[in-house]
Structure 1
Amino acid sequence: MPFHSRFSPVLWLSVTCSVLPLAGSQIVGSETVATDYHTLIQAERIFAAYGGQHSVKDAFSKFLADAYLFREDKFVRGGPFYATQSERPGRLTWRPTYARVAASGNWGVTTGPAEFHPNTAAEPPVGYGNFVTLWQKDTAGAWQVLYDGGISYATPASASEIIHPKTFPAKLQVLADTVALRNALQQTETAFAARAQTSLQQAYAPVLPKSGSELRLLREEAVPYVGPAAQRLATESTQAVAFRPFQTAVAPSGELGYTLGYLDFQQQRGHYLRVWQREGEQWKLALELLAAKLK
């Protein structure tokens, strides 16, 4: 059975960093995003617990109904896609080992290792990978998935547990000019794509964060690159890749955003996710997922 969204050919900077209010934003008393962070992790764990006991179709139909997935060379919504799929054997198990929420408290990401089991979750896994899920709270305050994707690789990644931050950013009232910030992010993405037609190396150069300790680069058939390993990969990636944006969005608090789109590399059609963070007036890369074989 082929892998599904969490292993298809596919955040945020550490929550321990301080988040400075953008112009026009207001700190809400002494409240932080700690509660939002923990409920986000719990939402992922509830999804994972259900997935371990139910089929991929059942679990993904339930939790990814409105989420974007990449299937059959295009982005689709999870609900309509899985409504047409037949049941197949196998179980996915996964767990978050990294999470972050925006300062608004209603946007977030979870990522971590996943395994595919041929029949039940009790059986030894036969496939490995890493998922990335973007989340947003609905009007009732419940976490809902915006996008779900991942990469696959041949051997299991080293075991790791999620390390919770000791401090959390102050929670911000939603007053950021997200229209202007989204336009700026689109310009950053367009410039990145233009440079990538020459090489990824050139595309990365102006957008790497000042502190690369939390930078994450995910590539198909490779365990995720984090921190210094990600920085090295960015400086050594000479491939020329064509990118075509599909969606751009900015968190209500204005300091985080993402771009989602298509990529083409040597006769391959895949997709990408880039998560961005603001440093001063510039958008810098926090996480990138390239769902294609780039070797």
Structure 2
Amino acid sequence: MKPLRHLTLANLLMGWVFGTAHAQKPIQKLIDTEKQFAAYTSTHSIKEGFLRFLDSTGVVFNQGKVLNGMDFYQKAPAKSPVLFWEPSFSVISASGDLGLNTGPYTVRATPKDSVIARGNFSSIWKKNNAGEFKLLIDLGNSYTETHAPISTVNQISLQQSFANANYDEIMTLEEAINQAIATKGWRSLSPYLHPSAHFNLPGKSPIITQKRVLEELAQLSNQATLKALNGGISKAGDFAYVYGSVTHSNKTTSYLRVWIKDKNDWKLILLTLD
């Protein structure tokens, strides 16, 4: 019996080591959920896909209006074009409860037809009590360029928690920045840019890296009024998102900004304007 007991213990230890080494990283689950969402939607319908993966509090944006996603898609027609997308960049909080995906999408009338529209999506996901990621935010921008195939997903897994960070702090920052943009222009974002910043702007393919974003900011019109509407922060206090409205030339659209903590400073990792 003694050798058997030793063998059983050895097997348990080997199983623990193997399981630990092969345990799915939180960011991989975030990426896989996005891919499952896209795969399900491409074989069913846009309506069915969103109703399956949306959180009950998730929101979508339509012509400058913020709408409850469930209500919007329950009223949507059952038959719709074929939408497909895949993540190219993902970020997740140290607590694993909030994350973002962004990447290209295409629209076809049917799976066999040619592409009739393309652009970039930005999504915010929240892990529920069952350990499943549910979609909180979906905002996209369109462009005409053909995107390159996605070979790998660039990833940032945050590692540090900030006990003193809170939602009010990020909203105060948002309000100050929006006031600065209204008076001094979009270059007011410059001090806050993360080196891996992603900007998704109307009519343009993704603008990536701090250098390219700075060049683009210099070209944006200063005549814009932004208003933060809502958002959230991770349990670790290292990841926050805010969405709001943008009024420019008597037209109102929406924006999404994602912030991450870097050495106790909030840095802008994503801006999407629809």
Output the TM-score relative to the length of structure 2. 0.84
- Distance in 2 (alpha carbons) for counterparts of 1:273 and 1:168: 20
Contact 2:60–2:137 at 8 Å: present in 1 too?
yes
1:97 alignment counterpart: 88
- Mapped to 1, the partners of 2:24 and 2:198 lie a distance apart of 22
In structure 2, what is the Cα distance between the partners aligned to 1:189 and 1:238? 19
Who is 2:172 aligned against?
Answer: 187
* Cross-structure match for 1:226: 208
Counterpart of 1:247?
230
Q: How does 1:122-201 map to 2 (within 5 A)?
A: 122-163=112-153, 170=159, 176-178=163-165, 181-201=166-186
Structure 1 residues 290, 258: CA separation in 2 closer, same or farther (over 3 Å shift)?
same
The reply to whether residue 108 of structure 1 matches residue 99 of structure 2 is yes
In 2, the alpha carbon distance for the partners of 1:286 and 1:65 equals 23
CA contact (8 A) 2:91 2:157 kept: no
Count of residues in correspondence between the two structures:
252
- Is the Cα–Cα contact under 8 Å of residues 199 and 237 in structure 1 kept in the other structure? no
Q: Which digits, 9 at most, give the CA deviation of each residue in 1:178-202, with x for residues without a partner?
A: 4xx3222111111111111124334
Of structures 1 and 2, the larger Rg is shown by 2
- Offset, 1:238: 4.0
Percent identical pairs in the alignment equals 24
Mapped to 2, the partners of 1:89 and 1:96 lie a distance apart of 22
The residue aligned with 1:71 is: 62
Q: Deviations over 1:243-289 (max 9, x none)?
A: 11111321111111111111100011100001112233432211101
* Unpaired stretches in structure 2, ≥5 consecutive residues: 1-19
1:135 to partner: Cα distance: 0.4
Question: Contact between 2:91 and 2:158, CA under 8 Å: does it hold in 1?
Answer: no
Post-superposition offset of 1:171: 7.6
Compute the TM-score of the two structures, normalised by the length of structure 1.
0.78
C-alpha displacement of 1:131: 0.6
Shift, 1:169, TM fit: 5.0
| Contact kept? 1:199, 1:238, Cα under 8 Å | no
Name the Cα RMSD after superposition: 2.3
